Structure 1
Amino acid sequence: MLPPALSDDQSVPFDDRGLAYGDGIFETVLLRDGAPVLWRYHMARLAQGCQRLGIPLLSQEVLDATWQGDPTAEFEVLKLILTRGSGGRGYAQPEQVTPRLLSRRTPFQPSVKRWQEGVTVRLCDLQLARQPRLAGIKHLNRLENVLARREWNDATIAEGLLADSEGLIVEATSMNVFWQQAGEVFTPQLDQCGVAGTLRAVLLEEGAVAEDALTLDQLADVERLWVANSVQGVWPVTKLLSASGSLLQRWSLSHSDPFQRLAHQLLGVV
């Protein structure tokens, strides 16, 4: 296996295919006391993304080296970007692919207030396109999410919910969606579009959630609603707004939230 063309936080060449075409994948990993949280699940999704896109997977030794360092920081976020590298004519890939790896660690502090007080979310006008070959992986072409996030500037709105072209709830702009119905917790099946988060993966593996479909019309009738990912943890949703800003539903916070408690235990949050 060829070594990556680049590592650490350096400049990207003009002809990098990730820059030119979004030809690559990325991972955003929570580091707690210098060690990655849910690393096995991030590596599994990275491997799946490489397989889907046909990018050579780097050695585990190279990937592990990105997070090894100063263990004194309580929380950091590690971002990994792996592109197909440079070369090729137009969209055609080079005959010999030399992947390019970039990584950066940044300080981070989770929003405990949002864990405790819940958040307001809104529906987005943008509809996600269906493309099963890209569904689940964290590829670099995230323009749909960028456009959806441009739909609001109100700092009191924490997230926007995205549906696909068939009217099924898929995800939030940067988090997965979970809901409770008849006492059970569900999350959308991401076989057509959307990012399959690592916290979502471990919750499914633990049997704490099940996959199901949720339409836009059904959303306001669920018993409870959460948005969550492996970096931010679980935010209970207390208010749901339409894309125009009108109130669609309000949920009360529960003093006991077994779903949030389990998810945070899996993230190492005491």
Structure 2
Amino acid sequence: MNRFNLYGDLLFESIKIIGTKPQHLTRHFSRLMKGAALLNFETDSFDFDIFEKEIINSIKKYFRLKSNNSNIARLRFVLYRNANGFYLPDSNKVNFYTEIFSFEPSLSIEPVSVGIYAEQAKAPGPLAGIKSGNALIYVLASIRAKENKLDDMLILNTNGNIIESTSSNIFWFSNGKWFTPPLKDGCVAGIMREIFMEENVVTEKSCSLNDLINADKRQLSNAIQGIRDFVIIT
């Protein structure tokens, strides 16, 4: 087995493809490079041109071979430490690969149903904001969501604050203002979170269950599915 899969020693970006065009590519690359610096990846031989070329070539191949008529897809770009060894790698050099999956956006206008996942908590810290191979809490929360016939689960940090869902950042609107959990609470630095905060006046605030229950509006955001309303099922 590859070392990077065994230890989750990788970063990934999930990129939405519309009409063969990758969305928000420079934002994805910027986040990828911030994560690479945190993980001590050596990226001297990896730059935006390589990133973009790999993605464009993968998209062309996918749409040339695909059998359906959809012009929307989901691309996963994985950057990993290309090394041997156990916990201690013998190199910090990187390699990468891409995968593309068909994606049909939901046409439902119904809010997403979410519960609270309280069996495990996510610790805040620099690594909490990156998209790495360490995703067990999201796996377990997704299993619970399915068991409870819910669309998603909200994740708590070790301080008991709600920080995100399994795949989305959260926003809530209350008393005429938008709010979202701060990155220091442990949520992923989402692409749509970044865009939403550029386009709206948003206050960063630690989130309690009461904040969401009493909110006038609650929304999930991610780069693939965009912005969706949600309701909490307790």
1:86 to 78, 83, 87: 83
Does residue 126 (structure 1) correspond to residue 126 (structure 2)? The answer is no
- Give the distance between the partners of 2:148 and 2:14, measured in 1 at CA: 23
TM-score, normalised by the number of residues in structure 2: 0.88
Partner of 1:46: 32
Q: CA RMSD in A?
A: 1.9
Q: How much has 1:24 moved relative to structure 2?
A: 1.2
Query: Which runs of 5 or more residues in structure 2 are unaligned?
Result: 65-69
* d(CA) in 2 for partners of 1:217, 1:182: 14
Residues 156 and 228 of structure 1: CA distance in aligned 2, closer, same or farther (over 3 Å): farther
Distance 2:121 2:158 in 1: 6
Q: Does 2:92 match 1:97?
A: yes
1:68-79 matches, cutoff 5 A = 68=56, 69-70=59-60, 74-79=71-76
Moved segments of 4+, more than 6 Å: none
Deviation for aligned residue 1:197: 0.8
Q: Given residue 50 of structure 1, which amino acid in structure 2 is its aligned partner?
A: A
Partners of 1:187 and 1:210 within 8 A in 2: yes
- Whose helix fraction is larger, Structure 1's or Structure 2's? 2
Matched, 1:59 2:47: yes
Question: Which residue pairs with 2:184 in the alignment?
Answer: 191
Is residue 221 from structure 1 mapped to residue 214 from structure 2 by the alignment?
A: yes
- 1:208 is displaced (CA, Å) by 4.0
Mapped partners of 2:149, 2:120: distance in 1: 23
How many residues align structurally? 223
More off after superposition, 149-158 vs 98-107 = 149-158
> Could you tell me the percent identity over the aligned residues?
27
Give the secondary-structure state (helix, strand or coil) at the position aligned to 1:61.
helix
C-alpha deviation, 1:155, in angstroms: 7.9
2: CA distance between counterparts of 1:123 and 1:178? 16
Does residue 165 (structure 1) correspond to residue 158 (structure 2)? The answer is: yes
1:150 aligned counterpart, secondary structure: helix
TM-score normalised over the length of structure 1: 0.77
Give per-residue Cα distances to partners, 1:17-76, cap 9 Å, x unaligned: 321111111010001111111111111110110011111232222211232143785211
CA distance in 1, matches of 2:219, 2:132: 24
More displaced 10-residue stretch of structure 1: 58-67 or 17-26 = 58-67
